[in-house]
Structure 1
Amino acid sequence: MKKLKSIILFFVLIQTQISAQERADSIHNRPLINKEVVRRSVLPLSLITTGVVISGSHFEKNIKKKLRGGEGVIDYAIPVDDLMQYVPIAQIYIADVLGIKAKNHWFDQTKYLIISNVITAALTHGAKFAINKERPNGSSYAFPSGHSSFSFANATVLYEEFHDTAPGFACSGYVLTSMVGSLRVINNKHWVSDVLAGAGLGILVTRLVYSWEPLKNWNPCKKMKDVTFIPSFDSSGGSFTFVYRF
């Protein structure tokens, strides 16, 4: 019964956001759901569903035992996942500076990146507090993984922007973010189900953002073709840089 309630709460959060977007899009008479949107939603929804189904199961507990050992094992961590989640963002703007052709202007990239991350963060943290699953290290709010949802949202923006012109480069973000998810489990921060659900959520939200293209015509910097906006992040915070190509 507890697992069923978690499933219902998680999908209610997603449906709430979809309904809000539907109301916004209806103003512009744009079709919200079509075959392409459904097709692009299959993979992330499968990841989310798998995460919900195996949450709390013996399967994921056995994975933890194999990776971490039993009680009394010396604790360890590989603390690079905090930084790796930002790599796809850096890849997007480095590609812009290098002149790799993208789907959208850098302002639109930034716009969709921010929208995707804001929605993903709202759904992730809403689900965390609603479900309140215990992490493998004993702390709270495990499901879904915030690192996974954030990094996979970023990787999906990278993929959406460059998969037509540089497919290998576009897919590289998913390799890195898969490592982030794996490290969350290895570092005893999350269960496998948390990572799967977080990954699916980040991919789903970003794919829907790119399908619906909110604020599509808003780009005050469209004529600034030689200027690139680069956000950067570190442990102390974030900063913004403008790069002008001569």
Structure 2
Amino acid sequence: MNKLLSVHLLWLLVLFAPAHSIAQIQPIDKDTANVLPADTVLPGQKNPFTDAQRLEASNSRFLKRAVIPSAALVGAGILTIQGRGLISSFDTRDVRNRHFPNFSTEADDFIMLAPLVGLYGFNLISSQNRHELGRQTLLLGLSGVLASAVVWPVKGLTNIDRPNGKPHAFPSGHTTYAFTIATFMDKEFRHKSPWISVASYGIAGATGVMRVLNNAHWMADVLAGAGVGIISVNTVYWVHAKLTQGGGLNTTFVPVLLPGGAKGMAFTLAF
């Protein structure tokens, strides 16, 4: 639990470290994700959009590429909690106890952070990264904070014991953060090489498997954690695209007369 709390607090450090980059996020008038010129480079961005990145603010794309897959993973986790489902969490625990009864490693506490070494390494040796380092760190920090805001309350509400008897099993925090980092790497570097995405998701998957083999989590915890991590990053990038690409996020201020004759201002937000 202490290790997880340390990782949880790390997201806050990641978020607030590049505070100067927050001020750089400024909406760009008129243009939308579909009409931005191919050579457009927005504030905080290192290179022009790829075709996929130009559609980042699309609601339908967000639904198909992020919401549905994440909901499927979380749903699978809920349906396999403890003894539920065709292949339940109890079934996978029995397989673990039968074939890997003495498995024990602490690698799952650290391996999920491995892609971050690649993140900052790529920034040093490559000019093809999607965003500048400050913007990358901001997006990663926001994704981690959003994931934490989901995971920790749900752990308390569900109050499910782990296979080893310890509390707060569902969902898996390690797996959530592992898939948060993997999805972030996919967003930032897929255009550079799909193998970066494959390796990052492979590490995230290995983290989840080790949590089960370590008897620290049920299969359901891992499935739900993966879904939370994926949707957290995609939500941050989707909102970021609407804010920075312009047009997709529309704000209106309208003067209004309040009861009693006081003057006021109405604010509307639409996308």
TM over 0.5: yes
- 2:238 and 2:215 map into 1 onto residues whose CA distance is 35
1:169 aligns with 2:196: yes
Number of residues paired by the alignment? 188
Q: Report the residue type matching 1:98 in the other structure.
A: I
1:44 aligned residue: 70
In the TM superposition, structure 1's runs of 4+ consecutive aligned residues that sit over 6 Å from their partners are 30-33
1:66 pairs with 95, 99, 105, which one?
95
Q: 1:139 Cα shift?
A: 0.7
Gaps of 5+ in 1: 1-27, 218-246
Query: 2:85 aligned with 1:56, yes or no?
Result: no
Matched residue, 1:228? none
TM-score, structure 1 as length reference: 0.71
2:132 to 99, 105, 125: 105
- Cα RMSD of the aligned pairs, angstroms, is 2.5
Q: Which residue of 2 aligns with 1:124?
A: 151
Gaps (5+ residues) in structure 2?
1-28, 34-56, 245-271
1:35 aligns with 2:64: no
Query: % of aligned pairs identical?
Result: 27
Is 1:179 aligned to 2:189, yes or no?
A: no
- CA distance in 2 between partners of 1:208 and 1:129 (Å): 23
Shift of 1:170: 2.5
Q: Deviations over 1:100-125 (max 9, x none)?
A: 51111111110010000011012101
Structure 1 position 77 matched with structure 2 position 108 = no
* Residue identity opposite 1:148 in structure 2: T
Q: How far is the alpha carbon of 1:33 from its aligned partner?
A: 7.3
| Per-residue deviation, 1:171 | 2.3
Q: Which has the larger radius of gyration?
A: 2
Compute the displacement of 1:191 (Å).
0.3
* 1:190 equivalent in structure 2: 217
